[in-house]
Structure 1
Amino acid sequence: MDFLCEPPDLIAPQGSLTRLRLENARVSAEFLTTLSQWCTQTQSVVLNNLKPRSKRVNETREDYHKNTRGSVEPGVEALLRSAGGSLLHLSVSQCPHILTDRTLWLASCYSRNLKTLTYRSSSDPIGHEVLWALGAGCRNISSLQVAPAHPCQQPTRFGNRCLQTIGRCWPHLRWLSVGGASCGTQGLAALVRTCAHLQVLELERISDLGLQAATALCDAGLTSLETLILTHTPVSGQAVLHFHSVCENIRSITVEVCVADYFEEPDTQEAQHLFGEIINTLMVLRERSGLCDILQVKVEGFC
């Protein structure tokens, strides 16, 4: 049985839930605790854009954030405890403040058979301590999507140390999504060197991905790579060509960028002109033999 929820007034169905999806709703720990009694056989849990209770009349904004921070986690713990080893897929995204990366520490305790994990947070990106706990408790993860949501309130929390931890914990990863300005070439190369079986790699908001970085990553590994997704990562045409020429199994390269990814002052005439040249180069590459069916370029806010 599936349970999909969007409105805030939720009624639990009869029977056992195999898939639970809660999104765009205000929920409480009490509600999730009640719901957990139907989750003894739940295989998939998706929590997306959940919101806390409304701010009280005499409550300051600071007190509201303090009082609601992590407020739903006791309910999530009840869900995870109830599902136990049945849970194979967990996704937590855009639930700032009410769910922190402690949610993943809880998963490491109760969800030992997890295969896919998505965690996207702008307020509490995952740190290396929680990654270590996950690595110890959830050894079977093959798909990990943990790039911080943008704009991130703690941009330095996820970086090279986290990348190295991921490589050490899950050398058999098939799908990986990481990112943030603190992720450097050294950390990415260390990860790629360890995760030799990566088939899908998404790099989101990496500060720079020029030819030198592309060469370092390809030298480190990526021999099994089939799909490369570069989301708001300033990549050069030379780097794209290098990935295509060296990664023999590559089937898809997607580049999604905007002018702000390349320049600190994106509104200037010079920035617009240079960005136009970069995009023109990428568009020309799309016409090359061997790349026309592989390279996709998506440009935001540019004509």
Structure 2
Amino acid sequence: MTESVNEKLWNAISLDGLVRKAQELEQRLQSSREEALFRTANLNSTTALWERKYNDHAVSDDKSYTLGAVNDSDSSRLDQLLADYQKLAVHATANHAEVKRLKQELAEKTYELDNLKGYFEYCELSKQKETTLVSSCIDDARETKEVSKAESKEDEMQDNVTKAFSVSPSDNSTEESTATVEKCDTIANAEPQPTYDTHGMALLKIFGYLTTWDVCVIQGVCKRWQKVAQHPSLWRHIEIKDVMIPVSSLYNMAQWCTATEKIHIQGIIPTPTLDDEELNAYVVRQKGSFEPALAIILRSSSATLRSIILDECNIMITQRVFWLISVHCPQLNELRYSSDEFPPTPAALWTLSIGCPNITSLHFPPVFASSFVAHFNDHCLASIADGWPYVRTLSIGSPSVSSEGLHFIVKQCQYLQHFCIMYCQQITESTVALLCKSGLRKIQTLTVMFTRISAKAVVYFIRNCRQLKRFELHLGYSDYFNEDPSEDTILKYKMIIKNFQDLLKYPDIQQVFKLKTNYN
């Protein structure tokens, strides 16, 4: 019995080793927290020193409030302070990611440890019960034998009676004791049943391959499935695409999103109109209908949420979502938003920058079929440049974006590494020279999509951006000609494409430049 229990327990996993690993994870978690606090303190002190230095030089200049009065030594000092500031910010972000990873690993190990503890306690309890039962059975058998022997001695004087009482009772007692001992051995050899739910763990593993909407649906199968489907590990990444989901489902979903890291909502299908409902009343009812439930989800996952993607959600998500994100998601790192009815505005972007200053990846792709795409203009780019000067990845696009708006971005966002320009106005060689002079020092990936640009401008980009690893250009006929295709315009378009293809003959340009054409 003892050997079988020990084999099943220790062959599965060493309980002591798991406890020690959990304790080590807790110590690493505490050390990471202390290091993050130390880095944050250094970051704040460096920021205060940089601002004080900047203000001293600004006050000393009576004519203008610029950095022009700062001498060379002070300028180098300011550059060094800014570099230290950025370095500390990177360390703080890395420590925060390490703390999050350790928390997740510790939660998984704690869950497994609890299951093993329950199994171990059950085995110990089973052994105690079986030992008590076997000892009691043996004691009963011994008492029965002693009673039979005493009765046989008392009846020795009577031969017939003694035989009757000495043979049959002793035989009966011996048989009963033997049967009792065999029964006890059978009970002792029986394998104990574990207390942890292996079936639930298997379901949790299977449910991990389902989509978010499928997990919502299968909760109605039974209570066991409902309990497993509400496990926080299944709600780390919420992905809802091209479905008609009721708002009530989002309210129910919010109570399980305590460890959500990414939310991706795309192509939500509106609910149908009610009987005898007018179009205006339907629009009023659907406008912003997802925002209250989405606000509850954001509030539940505010401590862990890092990425939000909202693509073409019709009228059910409006510009008000920027305010909700700024209130509930202070640790957000990535945001992607596109809407054909409610594109970003300067006021909405300014609100978002107040509550989410740590965003390093912003994507605002245009919905070109929308009539409101022109509302995203240079003022929006100015809000982005002022709100997120340390942004690393940026995607913007609109026919209203000019070279002036691009200059705002390049001048303010000196740490930009990945830049995507879509459906913007013409980019000339003089525009490229101004952009390269103002910034793009750390640019690594540059994508220009459906924007009129010359071959000389492409060469200037590649030759002057030293860290550029990939320049991707998407071109179409409509980028250069507004009228319907004719023999003359098609011939001109082919000549333009040939100019770009000739650039691939140069080895230094061929390694970086990627051309995609033949779009209608």
**TM-score per shorter chain, which class?**
over 0.9
Distance 1:215 1:6 in 2: 50
Contact 2:403 2:425 in 1 (8 A): no
Secondary structure, aligned partner of 2:471: strand
State the partner residue of 1:90. Answer: 308
Distance 2:244 2:386 in 1: 37
Change (3 A) 1:276 1:57: farther
Secondary structure, aligned partner of 1:253: strand
- Does 1:231 find its partner at 2:449? yes
Distance 2:276 2:474 in 1: 44
| CA deviation map 1:161-209 (0-9, x unaligned) | 1111111111111100011011111111011101001000000100211
- Does 1:15 find its partner at 2:15? no
Deviates more, 1:33-42 or 1:267-276: 267-276
- Output aligned runs, 1:1-303, within 5 Å: 4-5=211-212, 10-11=217-218, 13-16=229-232, 17-56=235-274, 58-301=276-519
Higher relative contact order (CA 8 A, sep 6+): 1
Change (3 A) 1:134 1:3: farther
TM-score of the aligned structures, taking structure 2 as reference length: 0.55
Distance 1:98 1:45 in 2: 16
Contact 1:8 1:27 in 2 (8 A): no
Distance 1:279 1:60 in 2: 51
Deviates more, 1:137-146 or 1:26-35: 26-35
Secondary structure, aligned partner of 1:208: coil
Contact 1:73 1:98 in 2 (8 A): yes
Contact 2:475 2:519 in 1 (8 A): no
**Structure 2: stretches of 5+ with no match in the other structure:** 1-207, 220-228
Distance 1:190 1:227 in 2: 19
Task: State the Cα distance separating 1:60 from its structure 2 match.
Answer: 4.4
Task: State the Cα distance separating 1:97 from its structure 2 match.
Answer: 1.2
Distance 1:235 1:2 in 2: 45
Contact 1:101 1:126 in 2 (8 A): yes
**Structure 1: stretches of 5+ with no match in the other structure:** none
Secondary structure, aligned partner of 2:507: coil
Distance 2:217 2:456 in 1: 52
Instruction: Please state which structure has a larger fraction of its residues in strand.
Output: 1
Distance 1:243 1:112 in 2: 36
Contact 2:426 2:452 in 1 (8 A): yes
Larger radius of gyration: 2
Amino acid at match of 1:38: W
Task: State the Cα distance separating 1:284 from its structure 2 match.
Answer: 1.4
Amino acid at match of 1:81: R
Distance 1:161 1:11 in 2: 47
Distance 2:276 2:255 in 1: 35
| CA deviation map 1:78-100 (0-9, x unaligned) | 11111113111111011121111
Secondary structure, aligned partner of 1:290: helix
Task: State the Cα distance separating 1:221 from its structure 2 match.
Answer: 0.6
Between the two proteins, the alignment pairs up a number of residues equal to: 302
Amino acid at match of 2:230: Q
Distance 1:127 1:57 in 2: 36
Secondary structure, aligned partner of 1:257: strand
Alignment root-mean-square deviation, CA = 2.0
Distance 1:295 1:266 in 2: 29
Contact 1:7 1:24 in 2 (8 A): no
Secondary structure, aligned partner of 2:301: helix
Instruction: Please state which structure has a larger fraction of its residues in helix.
Output: 2
Change (3 A) 1:278 1:11: farther
Distance 1:58 1:280 in 2: 59
Contact 1:190 1:220 in 2 (8 A): no
